[in-house]
Amino acid sequence: MKPAASRRGAAAARRRGLWIGFLLAPALLVMTLFVAWPLASAFRYAFYAFNGLAASHFIGLENFRAVLFEPPYSAWTLRALAHNAIVFVALMLVQNGLAYLIAFALLKALPGHRVHQVIVFLPVVLSAVIVGFLWKLFLHPLFGLVNQALMAVGLAAHPWLGDGNTALGSIIFTNAWHWMGFPALIFLAAMQRVPREVMEAARIDGATDRALLGAIIWPLVAPATTIIFTLTFIGSFNWFELPYVMAGLDGSPGGATDVLGLYFYRTAFGSTSAGLQDFGHGSALAVLMFIFLAVVSGLALRVLRRREIEL
Partner 1 sequence: MKGEWLKNGAIQALLLLNGFVMLYPLFVMVISAFKSNAEIFTSPFALPAGFDLTNAARVWNETSFVLYLGNSVIVTTASVAAILVCATMAAYAIARYPFRLSGAVFLFFLSGLMVPLKLAVIPLFIQLDGLGLIDTRAGLVLVYVAMGLPSAVFILTGFLRTLPGELEEAARIEGASELRIMLSVMLPLARPAMVIAAIQNAVPIWNDFFFPLVFITSDRLKTLPQGLSVFMGEYNTDWGVLFAGLTLAALPIMLVYIALSRQFIAGLTQGAIK
Gap between the Cα atoms of 17 and 116, Å rounded: 51
Minimum distance of partner 1 from residue 35's CB (angstroms): 5
Under 8 Å between Cβ of 257 and 244? no
Which of 230, 229, 251 lies closest to 240, judged by CA?
Answer: 251
In sequence order, which residues have a C-beta less than 8 Å from that of residue 167 and are 6 or more positions away? 160, 161, 247, 252, 253, 256, 257
Backbone angles phi, psi at 275, to 5 degrees: 80, -145
Our CB check for partner 1 shows the closer of 120 and 167 to be: 120
- Beta carbon of residue 175, minimum distance to partner 1 (angstroms, whole number): 14
Closest CA to 263 of 240, 247, 242: 240
Of the pair 165, 192, the CB lying nearest partner 1 is at 192
Rounded distance, CA 61 to CA 283, Å?
A: 12
Q: Which of residues 51 and 165 has its CB atom nearest to partner 1 in the complex?
A: 51
Question: By CB neighbour count within 10 A (0-12 exposed, 13-18 middle, 19+ buried), where does 103 fall?
Answer: buried
Task: Name the residue nearer to partner 1 (CB basis): 3 or 174.
Answer: 174
Q: CA angle, corner 166, sides to 88 and 163, nearest 5? A: 140
Q: What whole-number distance in Å separates Cα of residue 283 and Cα of residue 278?
A: 9
Q: Which is nearer to partner 1, 74 or 230 (CB)?
A: 230
Least distance in angstroms from the C-beta of 198 to partner 1: 18
Question: Minimum CB separation from partner 1 for residue 217, in Å?
Answer: 15
* Cβ-based nearer residue to partner 1, 73 or 182: 182
Least CB distance to partner 1 at residue 91 (A): 15
- CB nearer to partner 1: pick between 13 and 75: 13
Q: How far is the CB of 203 from partner 1 (least distance, A)?
A: 11
Do residues 191 and 217 lie in contact, with contact meaning Cβ atoms separated by under 8 Å? Answer: yes
Nearest-approach distance from CB 78 to partner 1, in angstroms:
19
Distance, CA of 89 to CA of 83 (rounded, Å):
10
Residue placing its CB nearer to partner 1 in the complex, 90 or 222: 222
| Closest distance to partner 1 from the beta carbon of 267 (Å) | 10
Let me know: does 286 contact 264? Beta carbons within 8 Å: yes
259 Cβ contact list (under 8 Å, min separation 6): 80, 83, 84, 87, 239, 240, 243, 251
